[in-house]
Amino acid sequence: MNIYFCGIGGVGIGPLAEIARDAGHTVQGSDTKQSLTTKELSERDVTVTTDQSGAFLTAAHADNPIDWFVYTAALPADHPELLTAQQLGIHTAKRDELLNHIISEKNLKLIAIAGTHGKTTTTAMMVWTMRQLGIPVSYSIGSTVSFGPSGYFDPASKYFVYECDEFDRNFLHFSPFVTAITSIDYDHPDTYPTPASYTDAFTQLINQSQHTIMWKHDTTTGTTPHDDSWVLQDSEAIDYKIPGAHNRANATLIAKVCEYVNFGTSDSVKTALESFPGTSRRFERLAENLYSDYGHHPVEIAATLQMAREINDRVVLVYQPHQNRRQHEIRDQYTNCTELAEDIYWLPTYLSRESVDLPVLTPEELIEGLANSENVHVAELDDILWSAIQVAREHGKLVLCMGAGSIDDWVRQKLADSTQ
Protein backbone atom coordinates (compact mmCIF):
# COMPACT_ATOMS: atom_id res chain seq x y z
CA MET A 1 0.00 0.00 0.00
CA ASN A 2 0.93 3.64 -0.43
CA ILE A 3 0.41 5.35 2.95
CA TYR A 4 0.49 9.07 3.77
CA PHE A 5 1.03 10.09 7.40
CA CYS A 6 -0.15 13.50 8.60
CA GLY A 7 1.84 14.47 11.72
CA ILE A 8 4.63 12.10 10.78
CA GLY A 9 7.03 13.68 13.28
CA GLY A 10 4.81 12.85 16.27
CA VAL A 11 5.68 10.31 18.95
CA GLY A 12 2.81 8.03 17.87
CA ILE A 13 2.67 8.54 14.11
CA GLY A 14 6.44 8.60 13.48
CA PRO A 15 7.17 5.08 14.77
CA LEU A 16 4.13 3.76 12.91
CA ALA A 17 5.49 5.22 9.68
CA GLU A 18 8.76 3.36 10.26
CA ILE A 19 6.86 0.13 10.96
CA ALA A 20 4.78 0.49 7.79
CA ARG A 21 7.92 1.08 5.74
CA ASP A 22 9.64 -1.97 7.26
CA ALA A 23 6.51 -4.05 6.59
CA GLY A 24 6.86 -3.32 2.88
CA HIS A 25 4.54 -0.35 2.36
CA THR A 26 5.37 2.92 0.59
CA VAL A 27 5.53 5.75 3.14
CA GLN A 28 5.54 9.56 3.00
CA GLY A 29 4.04 12.31 5.10
CA SER A 30 3.91 15.80 6.52
CA ASP A 31 4.40 17.74 9.74
CA THR A 32 4.44 21.37 10.79
CA LYS A 33 8.17 21.32 11.52
CA GLN A 34 11.29 19.18 11.36
CA SER A 35 12.15 17.05 14.43
CA LEU A 36 14.38 14.19 15.52
CA THR A 37 11.74 11.79 14.18
CA THR A 38 11.42 13.47 10.77
CA LYS A 39 15.22 13.52 10.51
CA GLU A 40 15.29 9.81 11.33
CA LEU A 41 12.67 9.11 8.64
CA SER A 42 14.39 11.30 6.03
CA GLU A 43 17.60 9.36 6.59
CA ARG A 44 15.62 6.26 5.63
CA ASP A 45 14.55 7.86 2.32
CA VAL A 46 11.04 8.72 3.52
CA THR A 47 9.74 11.94 1.93
CA VAL A 48 8.64 14.42 4.61
CA THR A 49 7.15 17.84 3.85
CA THR A 50 6.14 20.80 6.01
CA ASP A 51 3.50 21.80 3.43
CA GLN A 52 0.17 20.86 5.02
CA SER A 53 -2.00 23.04 2.79
CA GLY A 54 -3.19 20.02 0.82
CA ALA A 55 -1.19 20.93 -2.30
CA PHE A 56 1.62 18.45 -1.62
CA LEU A 57 -0.87 15.68 -0.81
CA THR A 58 -2.79 16.35 -4.01
CA ALA A 59 0.39 16.23 -6.12
CA ALA A 60 1.61 13.07 -4.38
CA HIS A 61 -1.75 11.36 -4.98
CA ALA A 62 -1.70 12.34 -8.66
CA ASP A 63 1.82 10.94 -9.03
CA ASN A 64 1.11 7.66 -7.22
CA PRO A 65 -2.40 7.05 -5.81
CA ILE A 66 -2.42 7.04 -1.99
CA ASP A 67 -4.33 4.15 -0.38
CA TRP A 68 -4.42 5.29 3.28
CA PHE A 69 -4.25 8.72 4.92
CA VAL A 70 -3.25 8.15 8.57
CA TYR A 71 -3.52 10.94 11.13
CA THR A 72 -3.19 11.64 14.83
CA ALA A 73 -6.16 11.99 17.17
CA ALA A 74 -5.09 15.57 17.86
CA LEU A 75 -5.70 16.61 14.24
CA PRO A 76 -8.68 19.01 13.94
CA ALA A 77 -11.58 17.90 11.75
CA ASP A 78 -11.08 20.90 9.46
CA HIS A 79 -7.37 20.32 8.86
CA PRO A 80 -6.55 21.09 5.18
CA GLU A 81 -4.85 17.75 4.52
CA LEU A 82 -7.63 15.72 6.12
CA LEU A 83 -10.24 17.58 4.08
CA THR A 84 -8.15 17.10 0.94
CA ALA A 85 -7.80 13.36 1.59
CA GLN A 86 -11.56 13.06 2.02
CA GLN A 87 -12.19 15.02 -1.18
CA LEU A 88 -9.76 12.77 -3.07
CA GLY A 89 -11.55 9.64 -1.79
CA ILE A 90 -8.52 8.34 0.11
CA HIS A 91 -9.25 5.98 3.01
CA THR A 92 -8.66 7.98 6.22
CA ALA A 93 -7.75 6.30 9.52
CA LYS A 94 -6.22 6.97 12.91
CA ARG A 95 -3.03 5.13 13.85
CA ASP A 96 -4.70 2.28 15.76
CA GLU A 97 -6.58 1.11 12.64
CA LEU A 98 -3.40 0.83 10.57
CA LEU A 99 -1.44 -0.80 13.38
CA ASN A 100 -4.20 -3.38 13.89
CA HIS A 101 -4.12 -4.03 10.15
CA ILE A 102 -0.36 -4.69 10.20
CA ILE A 103 -0.52 -6.88 13.34
CA SER A 104 -3.31 -8.95 11.77
CA GLU A 105 -1.68 -9.04 8.33
CA LYS A 106 1.59 -10.34 9.80
CA ASN A 107 -0.10 -12.67 12.34
CA LEU A 108 1.71 -11.15 15.35
CA LYS A 109 0.95 -11.54 19.07
CA LEU A 110 0.56 -8.17 20.78
CA ILE A 111 2.42 -7.42 24.01
CA ALA A 112 0.80 -4.20 25.24
CA ILE A 113 2.37 -1.85 27.77
CA ALA A 114 -0.32 0.37 29.28
CA GLY A 115 -0.64 2.68 32.29
CA THR A 116 -0.74 6.33 33.29
CA HIS A 117 2.99 6.62 33.99
CA GLY A 118 6.08 4.84 32.72
CA LYS A 119 4.72 3.41 29.47
CA THR A 120 7.52 4.63 27.24
CA THR A 121 10.40 3.47 29.41
CA THR A 122 8.72 0.13 30.16
CA THR A 123 7.98 -0.48 26.46
CA ALA A 124 11.61 0.27 25.65
CA MET A 125 12.70 -2.07 28.47
CA MET A 126 10.58 -4.86 26.97
CA VAL A 127 12.05 -4.37 23.49
CA TRP A 128 15.61 -4.10 24.83
CA THR A 129 15.20 -7.27 26.91
CA MET A 130 13.82 -9.30 24.01
CA ARG A 131 16.67 -8.14 21.77
CA GLN A 132 19.27 -9.04 24.40
CA LEU A 133 17.66 -12.48 24.66
CA GLY A 134 17.89 -12.91 20.88
CA ILE A 135 14.11 -12.86 20.33
CA PRO A 136 13.02 -11.13 17.08
CA VAL A 137 10.60 -8.31 17.91
CA SER A 138 8.54 -5.68 16.13
CA TYR A 139 7.60 -2.66 18.19
CA SER A 140 6.43 0.94 18.60
CA ILE A 141 7.93 3.19 21.31
CA GLY A 142 6.74 6.75 21.98
CA SER A 143 10.24 8.21 22.18
CA THR A 144 13.64 8.01 20.54
CA VAL A 145 15.97 5.27 21.81
CA SER A 146 19.69 4.72 21.39
CA PHE A 147 19.42 1.10 20.31
CA GLY A 148 17.21 1.44 17.24
CA PRO A 149 14.44 3.43 15.56
CA SER A 150 11.29 4.37 17.50
CA GLY A 151 9.26 1.93 15.44
CA TYR A 152 10.43 -1.24 13.74
CA PHE A 153 9.02 -4.28 11.96
CA ASP A 154 11.12 -7.44 11.98
CA PRO A 155 9.96 -9.99 9.38
CA ALA A 156 11.20 -12.77 11.67
CA SER A 157 9.14 -11.63 14.67
CA LYS A 158 6.18 -13.40 16.23
CA TYR A 159 5.50 -10.61 18.74
CA PHE A 160 4.68 -6.92 18.53
CA VAL A 161 5.47 -4.74 21.57
CA TYR A 162 3.33 -1.60 21.72
CA GLU A 163 3.16 1.43 23.97
CA CYS A 164 -0.61 1.24 24.35
CA ASP A 165 -1.80 4.78 25.09
CA GLU A 166 -5.14 5.46 26.80
CA PHE A 167 -5.52 8.95 25.24
CA ASP A 168 -8.48 9.07 22.82
CA ARG A 169 -9.25 5.51 24.04
CA ASN A 170 -6.56 4.29 21.64
CA PHE A 171 -5.77 1.17 23.66
CA LEU A 172 -9.35 -0.09 23.46
CA HIS A 173 -8.92 -0.82 19.75
CA PHE A 174 -6.62 -3.75 20.55
CA SER A 175 -6.96 -7.28 21.92
CA PRO A 176 -3.50 -8.01 23.35
CA PHE A 177 -1.96 -11.41 23.92
CA VAL A 178 -0.58 -10.04 27.19
CA THR A 179 -0.91 -6.59 28.79
CA ALA A 180 1.39 -5.12 31.45
CA ILE A 181 -0.09 -2.17 33.35
CA THR A 182 2.48 0.09 34.98
CA SER A 183 0.17 2.34 37.01
CA ILE A 184 -3.32 3.84 37.10
CA ASP A 185 -3.85 7.49 38.09
CA TYR A 186 -6.65 9.60 36.66
CA ASP A 187 -5.48 11.54 33.61
CA HIS A 188 -6.65 12.87 30.22
CA PRO A 189 -9.81 14.62 31.40
CA ASP A 190 -10.39 15.69 27.79
CA THR A 191 -11.01 12.01 26.97
CA TYR A 192 -12.34 10.75 30.32
CA PRO A 193 -14.70 13.19 32.08
CA THR A 194 -14.58 11.33 35.42
CA PRO A 195 -12.09 9.10 37.30
CA ALA A 196 -14.59 6.25 37.01
CA SER A 197 -14.66 6.49 33.21
CA TYR A 198 -10.86 6.32 33.24
CA THR A 199 -10.62 3.20 35.39
CA ASP A 200 -13.51 1.59 33.48
CA ALA A 201 -11.43 1.93 30.32
CA PHE A 202 -8.58 0.02 31.94
CA THR A 203 -11.02 -2.68 33.05
CA GLN A 204 -12.21 -2.94 29.45
CA LEU A 205 -8.60 -3.29 28.24
CA ILE A 206 -8.03 -6.06 30.79
CA ASN A 207 -11.14 -7.87 29.56
CA GLN A 208 -9.89 -7.57 25.96
CA SER A 209 -6.50 -9.05 26.91
CA GLN A 210 -5.79 -12.78 27.10
CA HIS A 211 -3.57 -12.16 30.10
CA THR A 212 -2.78 -9.14 32.29
CA ILE A 213 0.04 -8.35 34.73
CA MET A 214 -0.51 -5.45 37.13
CA TRP A 215 0.06 -4.22 40.69
CA LYS A 216 -2.36 -4.88 43.53
CA HIS A 217 -2.44 -1.19 44.54
CA ASP A 218 -3.79 -0.28 41.10
CA THR A 219 -6.87 -2.46 41.65
CA THR A 220 -7.94 -0.11 44.48
CA THR A 221 -8.67 2.59 41.88
CA GLY A 222 -11.73 0.66 40.73
CA THR A 223 -10.05 -1.28 37.94
CA THR A 224 -11.08 -4.92 38.03
CA PRO A 225 -8.70 -7.70 36.91
CA HIS A 226 -10.16 -10.85 35.40
CA ASP A 227 -9.32 -14.38 36.52
CA ASP A 228 -6.42 -14.78 34.08
CA SER A 229 -4.41 -11.92 35.59
CA TRP A 230 -1.25 -11.81 37.67
CA VAL A 231 -1.80 -9.23 40.39
CA LEU A 232 1.52 -8.41 42.07
CA GLN A 233 2.00 -7.25 45.64
CA ASP A 234 4.41 -4.35 46.22
CA SER A 235 6.68 -6.79 48.06
CA GLU A 236 7.19 -8.71 44.80
CA ALA A 237 9.14 -5.84 43.21
CA ILE A 238 12.60 -7.13 42.32
CA ASP A 239 15.55 -5.09 43.57
CA TYR A 240 17.32 -4.76 40.23
CA LYS A 241 20.39 -2.53 39.96
CA ILE A 242 18.42 0.15 38.12
CA PRO A 243 18.03 3.77 39.34
CA GLY A 244 14.56 4.76 40.56
CA ALA A 245 12.04 2.73 42.56
CA HIS A 246 9.45 3.15 39.78
CA ASN A 247 11.91 1.85 37.19
CA ARG A 248 12.65 -1.20 39.35
CA ALA A 249 8.90 -1.83 39.64
CA ASN A 250 8.45 -1.52 35.87
CA ALA A 251 11.42 -3.84 35.28
CA THR A 252 9.65 -6.36 37.52
CA LEU A 253 6.62 -6.22 35.19
CA ILE A 254 8.90 -6.97 32.24
CA ALA A 255 10.41 -9.92 34.10
CA LYS A 256 6.89 -11.26 34.76
CA VAL A 257 5.97 -10.86 31.07
CA CYS A 258 9.10 -12.82 30.17
CA GLU A 259 8.15 -15.49 32.70
CA TYR A 260 4.62 -15.75 31.30
CA VAL A 261 5.72 -15.95 27.64
CA ASN A 262 8.74 -18.10 28.54
CA PHE A 263 11.40 -15.66 27.33
CA GLY A 264 14.82 -16.61 28.72
CA THR A 265 15.87 -17.47 32.27
CA SER A 266 15.46 -15.18 35.27
CA ASP A 267 19.23 -14.60 35.26
CA SER A 268 19.35 -13.72 31.56
CA VAL A 269 16.38 -11.37 31.96
CA LYS A 270 18.05 -9.73 34.97
CA THR A 271 21.27 -9.20 32.99
CA ALA A 272 19.33 -7.65 30.10
CA LEU A 273 17.26 -5.33 32.29
CA GLU A 274 20.25 -4.09 34.30
CA SER A 275 22.02 -3.11 31.06
CA PHE A 276 19.03 -1.07 29.78
CA PRO A 277 20.35 2.25 28.35
CA GLY A 278 17.17 4.32 28.87
CA THR A 279 15.18 6.49 26.47
CA SER A 280 15.09 10.08 25.31
CA ARG A 281 13.33 12.56 27.62
CA ARG A 282 13.03 10.04 30.48
CA PHE A 283 15.52 11.27 33.08
CA GLU A 284 17.87 11.90 30.18
CA ARG A 285 21.28 13.32 31.06
CA LEU A 286 21.91 16.32 28.80
CA ALA A 287 25.10 17.54 30.48
CA GLU A 288 26.89 17.50 33.83
CA ASN A 289 24.22 17.95 36.55
CA LEU A 290 21.50 18.65 33.96
CA TYR A 291 18.64 16.25 33.19
CA SER A 292 15.45 16.39 31.11
CA ASP A 293 12.28 14.45 31.79
CA TYR A 294 8.88 14.28 30.06
CA GLY A 295 6.93 13.85 33.32
CA HIS A 296 4.00 16.22 33.85
CA HIS A 297 1.92 14.65 36.62
CA PRO A 298 2.46 14.87 40.41
CA VAL A 299 3.10 11.11 40.67
CA GLU A 300 5.74 11.35 37.94
CA ILE A 301 7.36 14.37 39.60
CA ALA A 302 7.67 12.54 42.93
CA ALA A 303 9.01 9.36 41.31
CA THR A 304 11.60 11.18 39.19
CA LEU A 305 12.77 13.29 42.13
CA GLN A 306 13.22 10.09 44.14
CA MET A 307 15.38 8.69 41.34
CA ALA A 308 17.36 11.94 41.13
CA ARG A 309 18.03 11.84 44.87
CA GLU A 310 19.61 8.40 44.44
CA ILE A 311 22.26 10.21 42.36
CA ASN A 312 22.55 13.55 44.16
CA ASP A 313 21.31 14.73 47.57
CA ARG A 314 20.76 18.26 46.25
CA VAL A 315 18.15 18.48 43.49
CA VAL A 316 16.66 21.57 41.82
CA LEU A 317 13.41 21.13 39.91
CA VAL A 318 12.39 23.27 36.92
CA TYR A 319 8.78 22.37 36.13
CA GLN A 320 6.47 23.31 33.27
CA PRO A 321 2.87 22.13 33.82
CA HIS A 322 1.16 20.71 30.74
CA GLN A 323 -2.37 21.62 29.62
CA ASN A 324 -4.58 23.96 31.62
CA ARG A 325 -7.47 21.49 31.65
CA ARG A 326 -5.23 18.88 33.28
CA GLN A 327 -4.14 21.43 35.90
CA HIS A 328 -7.74 21.97 36.99
CA GLU A 329 -7.98 18.21 37.60
CA ILE A 330 -4.66 17.63 39.38
CA ARG A 331 -3.94 20.92 41.20
CA ASP A 332 -4.81 19.36 44.59
CA GLN A 333 -2.39 16.47 43.96
CA TYR A 334 0.75 18.64 43.87
CA THR A 335 0.88 19.01 47.69
CA ASN A 336 3.82 16.75 48.56
CA CYS A 337 5.24 15.78 45.16
CA THR A 338 8.11 18.31 45.22
CA GLU A 339 9.35 17.76 48.77
CA LEU A 340 12.59 16.07 47.60
CA ALA A 341 13.65 19.20 45.70
CA GLU A 342 15.50 21.90 47.62
CA ASP A 343 14.46 24.57 45.09
CA ILE A 344 11.66 24.64 42.52
CA TYR A 345 11.28 26.95 39.52
CA TRP A 346 7.62 26.86 38.42
CA LEU A 347 6.78 27.93 34.86
CA PRO A 348 3.46 28.98 33.32
CA THR A 349 1.39 26.10 32.00
CA TYR A 350 2.12 24.96 28.46
CA LEU A 351 -1.23 25.25 26.65
CA SER A 352 -2.43 22.53 24.27
CA ARG A 353 -5.90 21.29 23.21
CA GLU A 354 -7.52 23.74 25.65
CA SER A 355 -11.13 24.57 26.46
CA VAL A 356 -11.87 28.28 26.06
CA ASP A 357 -14.35 28.02 28.95
CA LEU A 358 -11.70 27.27 31.59
CA PRO A 359 -9.72 30.11 33.15
CA VAL A 360 -5.97 29.52 32.86
CA LEU A 361 -4.55 28.72 36.28
CA THR A 362 -1.53 30.84 37.17
CA PRO A 363 1.68 29.46 38.70
CA GLU A 364 0.75 31.22 41.94
CA GLU A 365 -2.59 29.37 42.06
CA LEU A 366 -0.95 26.00 41.37
CA ILE A 367 1.82 26.30 43.96
CA GLU A 368 -0.24 27.70 46.83
CA GLY A 369 -0.94 24.23 48.21
CA LEU A 370 2.63 22.87 47.99
CA ALA A 371 4.01 21.70 51.31
CA ASN A 372 7.36 23.35 50.53
CA SER A 373 5.96 26.43 48.76
CA GLU A 374 8.59 28.61 50.43
CA ASN A 375 11.16 26.99 48.11
CA VAL A 376 9.21 27.74 44.92
CA HIS A 377 10.12 30.54 42.50
CA VAL A 378 7.77 31.57 39.69
CA ALA A 379 9.86 31.68 36.53
CA GLU A 380 9.83 32.07 32.76
CA LEU A 381 11.87 30.38 30.03
CA ASP A 382 14.37 33.23 29.86
CA ASP A 383 17.99 34.17 30.54
CA ILE A 384 17.26 34.74 34.24
CA LEU A 385 16.17 31.13 34.64
CA TRP A 386 19.10 29.84 32.58
CA SER A 387 21.51 31.75 34.82
CA ALA A 388 19.90 30.23 37.91
CA ILE A 389 20.25 26.76 36.39
CA GLN A 390 23.95 27.36 35.72
CA VAL A 391 24.58 28.58 39.27
CA ALA A 392 22.88 25.48 40.70
CA ARG A 393 24.94 23.19 38.46
CA GLU A 394 28.17 25.00 39.40
CA HIS A 395 27.37 24.39 43.08
CA GLY A 396 27.11 20.66 42.40
CA LYS A 397 23.32 20.44 42.40
CA LEU A 398 21.41 18.20 40.00
CA VAL A 399 18.97 20.27 37.91
CA LEU A 400 15.93 18.37 36.68
CA CYS A 401 13.87 20.03 33.91
CA MET A 402 10.42 18.44 33.66
CA GLY A 403 7.45 18.89 31.36
CA ALA A 404 5.86 17.71 28.11
CA GLY A 405 5.74 21.13 26.47
CA SER A 406 8.43 23.50 25.25
CA ILE A 407 10.88 23.18 28.17
CA ASP A 408 12.97 20.38 26.66
CA ASP A 409 13.57 22.20 23.36
CA TRP A 410 14.43 25.38 25.31
CA VAL A 411 16.99 23.64 27.54
CA ARG A 412 18.63 21.86 24.60
CA GLN A 413 18.88 25.10 22.63
CA LYS A 414 20.33 27.02 25.59
CA LEU A 415 22.82 24.23 26.13
CA ALA A 416 23.81 24.26 22.46
CA ASP A 417 24.20 28.06 22.46
CA SER A 418 26.40 27.95 25.56
CA THR A 419 28.82 25.46 24.01
CA GLN A 420 29.32 27.34 20.72
Please indicate, yes or no, whether residues 116 and 265 belong to a single structural domain of this protein: yes
Judge if 316 and 231 occupy the same domain: no
| Per-residue pLDDT reduced to its tens digit, 370-407 | 999 999 999 999 999 999 999 999 999 999 999 999 99
Question: Of 61, 94, 127, which one is at a domain's C-terminal end?
Answer: 94
Q: Which ranges of 143-215 does DSSP label H, i.e. alpha helix?
A: 195-208
Please give the pLDDT value at position 11: 82
298-351 tens-digit pLDDT:
999 999 999 999 999 999 999 999 999 999 999 999 999 999 999 999 999 999
What is the pLDDT, as a whole number, of residue 234? 93
Query: What's the mean per-residue pLDDT of the chain?
Result: 94
Inform me whether the pLDDT recorded for 420 exceeds 80: no
CATH at 267: 3.40.1190.10
Question: b/e string for 184-216 if b means 16 or more Cβ within 10 A?
Answer: bbbbbbbebeebeebbebbbebbebbebbbbbe
Looking at residue 129, its amino acid is T
Is pLDDT larger for residue 356 or for residue 251?
251
Is 221 a member of any domain?
yes
Split into its structural domains, the chain has a count of 3
Residue 186 reports pLDDT greater than 80:
yes
Q: What is the pTM of this model?
A: 0.82
CB 226 within 8 A of CB 207: yes
At a CB cut-off of 8 Å and minimum separation 6, what does 282 contact? 120, 121, 143, 293, 294
Query: Can you give the pLDDT at residue 314?
Result: 98
The separation between CA 74 and the C-alpha centre of its own chain, rounded to angstroms, equals 15
Report the distance separating Cα 381 and Cα 26, nearest Å. Answer: 41
Q: Domain holding 379: CATH number? A: 3.90.190.20
The residues facing 162 across adjacent strands are: 112, 140
Domain housing 327: 284-418
One domain for residues 129 and 77: no
Residue 301 lies in a domain: yes
Decide which of 274, 306, 336 is a domain's last residue: 274
Domain for residue 99, yes or no?
no
Domain-ending residue, one of 208, 243, 274: 274
Q: Are residues 314 and 220 in the same domain?
A: no
